[in-house]
Amino acid sequence: MNTPVITTLCYIEDDGRYLMIHKNKKENDINAGKWLGLGGHKKEGETAARCLMREVKEEAGITLLSLNFRGIVHFVSPSDEEYMFIYVSDNFDGTPRLECDEGEIKWIPKSDIETLNLWEGDKIFLSILESSNQFFNLTLTYDDKGNLISSHDKQELYQDKHCISKHSDKIASCGKRALIVTGRNSAKRNGSLDDVIKALDEHGITYTVFNEVEENPSVETIMKGRDAGVNADADFVIGIGGGSPMDAAKAIALMLKNRGRGIDYLYENGNPSDALPVVCVPTTCGTGSEATAVSVLTRRSLGLKGSIPYKIMPEYGFSNIKYLRATDMQIIRNTAIDAFSHLVESYINSKATELSRAIAIEGFHKFRYVKEALLSKYTPNDDTLNNLLTMSTLAGMAIAIDGTGLPHALSYHLTLEGNIPHGPAVGYFIPGYLNAAGSLADLIFDVIKISDAEDLKELFMRLYHFERIDKDMIMRSINDVAGNQAKLDTAPFYAGKHLLKDMADFMC
């Protein structure tokens, strides 16, 4: 299969109508005869938003004044793979021309859209656009004749106030006996556990709740969860909470599929990533674990924290601002720092791709809109909460492509020894990392509307009140990472012990 292409598509709205193009002019056009929104292929180095604005100007002669990023659709066929960034807009300047070199352009009443010759997959995401105004991620698989053969090949993510009840059938498709993995209290307090149980009851699915997951879950907790799942004969796992319960759910699903193996299997290399199906319900806005195949665990006997060598991608992820609204404001700040750190480490990464950077840029736009609200002592409004959830998911999608980098690697001693929450522990090294990146960070600062690394440092100092951090602990982190060439190589510039120390000193 060829390298995935990145495209954009926008449904421009006016007076209950969408601006559509009938592809009836271009020879050998895969979309010949179809009606589409406006958009096209992203050029190398171009952001998805700038690509869309250029394409709309070229096709329809109008200027988009604002955009609402709604989701990403992953198209798969035997010969091609495409990631399409979906936008909507009702704010533009000019009068659309009626045709271009690709086809006829026409305003179509929304009520008439389904009468047009549309791709079958387009009907699915158009329905999502009309039923919700929140983020989604969808995979559509076509055969070599252009027939839709699957609308769920890899993963689906939904963000909506009623996403669990709306899509309870998708949860039911995962099995008949669920093991629900949570922390001790938050899932009950924010209503997420009740929503999941109602969805299971609706479909006659039995369940067992394992609510013993601690922050930075240990391998011993995973084995306790595995035993609970064995006793319940669970055939799928639902993780509810922040990164710890969701990461634990993935690891427990692995051990339930391999129930005859012992605790050492969690870190054995070379084994297949066979696991029971996993559903994730994030209730914070930091880890993006619902969008990654990573599970980070702690081996307390060794004083180590790190990812297991298995890739366990959740089947579905369901995000709801109702759960985030019930979260303590400081936890929201802490997890938002984590999400922003994921975006930075994905974008400034030696393994970064056009796709991971395009996703990260959309996440940076979300951070731009939430950063001031994070400073308030009051819970943010619904728009801000939605942006926080979307930022977290986009950050997870980005690091699922190229992984985390030096700031995460340096953070683990601060978390395990210094009891600093994971987000701020990583964030402590982010301003210094951006400072070391030089011009590579320019676009980030431009998008988030922060002048430089010093200004970001001041913001982080206001978001989390770092007390004096033990210098010996910092040096242990630096020495560990300096001896890990694979981790040093994640930086797209030379990184050695001196640079790591400069990153740490930047926050002093």
Report pLDDT for 26. Answer: 84
Average pLDDT over every residue of 155-169: 91
Q: In this structure, what token pair is assigned to residue 78?
A: 């035997």
Whether 273 and 191 map to the same domain: the answer is yes
In a domain, 350, yes or no: yes
Backbone angles phi, psi at 8, to 5 degrees: -130, 155
Average pLDDT over every residue of 274-286: 96
Report pLDDT for 434. Answer: 98
Residue 150 has pLDDT above 80, yes or no: no
In a domain, 383, yes or no: yes
**53-74 pLDDT tens trace:** 999 999 999 999 999 999 999 9
Domain boundary among 319, 347, 382: 319
Element (H, E) at 496: none
Report pLDDT for 28. Answer: 84
For residue 225, give Cα distances in angstroms to 217, 262, 290, 351, 446. Answer: 11, 13, 19, 34, 45
Q: In this structure, what token pair is assigned to residue 379?
A: 């819970």
The secondary structure of 436-473 as a DSSP string is HHGGGGHHHHHHHT--SHHHHHHHHHHHS---PPPHHH
Average pLDDT over every residue of 455-482: 93
Answer left, alpha or beta for residue 175, where phi above 0 means left and psi between -120 and 50 means alpha: left
Write down the pTM of the prediction: 0.92
**405-445 pLDDT tens trace:** 999 999 999 998 999 999 999 999 999 999 999 999 999 99
Whether 168 and 227 map to the same domain: the answer is yes
Contact (Cβ atoms closer than 8 angstroms) between residue 404 and residue 390:
no
For residue 397, give Cα distances in angstroms to 46, 253, 356. Answer: 19, 21, 8
Whether 176 and 146 map to the same domain: the answer is no
Residue 307 has pLDDT above 90, yes or no: yes
Domain boundary among 88, 120, 154: 154
- At residue 154 the predicted structure's pLDDT band, cuts being 50, 70 and 90, is low
User: What's the CATH code of the domain at 147?
Assistant: 3.90.79.10
Average pLDDT over every residue of 170-174: 96
Helices 354-370 & 48-60, crossing angle to 10 degrees? 100
Q: In this structure, what token pair is assigned to residue 199?
A: 């969805």
Contact (Cβ atoms closer than 8 angstroms) between residue 317 and residue 290:
yes
3-state secondary structure of 124: helix
Whether 266 and 389 map to the same domain: the answer is no
For residue 374, give Cα distances in angstroms to 369, 379, 432. Answer: 10, 9, 21
List CB contacts of 475: < 8 A, sequence separation 6 or more.
none
Token pair 């000019």 in the structure block, residue: 94
User: What is the rounded radius of gyration, in angstroms, for the C-alpha atoms of the chain?
Assistant: 23
Q: How far apart are the C-alpha atoms of 246 and 299, rounded to whole Å?
A: 17
In a domain, 365, yes or no: yes
Q: What is the mean pLDDT of the chain?
A: 95
Whether 221 and 84 map to the same domain: the answer is no
User: What's the CATH code of the domain at 461?
Assistant: 1.20.1090.10
Average pLDDT over every residue of 119-147: 92
Counted domains in the chain: 3
Whether 295 and 361 map to the same domain: the answer is no
Q: Any idea how long the chain is? A: 508
Whether 251 and 352 map to the same domain: the answer is no
Report pLDDT for 133. Answer: 83
Q: In this structure, what token pair is assigned to residue 228?
A: 């609970």
Domain boundary among 266, 293, 319: 319
Q: Which of 137, 103, 145 is nearest to 19 (CA)?
A: 103
Whether 423 and 454 map to the same domain: the answer is yes
Whether 101 and 211 map to the same domain: the answer is no
Whether 268 and 343 map to the same domain: the answer is no
Report pLDDT for 502. Answer: 97
Q: In this structure, what token pair is assigned to residue 82?
A: 């495409």
List CB contacts of 324: < 8 A, sequence separation 6 or more.
190, 283, 284, 285, 332, 385, 388, 389
CA 184 to chain centre: 25
Pairing of strands 236-241, 103-109: unpaired
In a domain, 423, yes or no: yes
Average pLDDT over every residue of 76-93: 95
**Percentage with pLDDT > 70 across the chain:** 99
Report pLDDT for 132. Answer: 83
* Domain carrying residue 381: 331-505
**192-246 pLDDT tens trace:** 999 999 999 999 999 999 999 999 999 999 999 999 999 999 999 999 999 999 9
Whether 147 and 169 map to the same domain: the answer is no
Residue 500 has pLDDT above 90, yes or no: yes
User: What's the CATH code of the domain at 261?
Assistant: 3.40.50.1970
Q: How far apart are the C-alpha atoms of 337 and 19, rounded to whole Å?
A: 38
In a domain, 382, yes or no: yes
**235-252 pLDDT tens trace:** 999 999 999 999 999 999
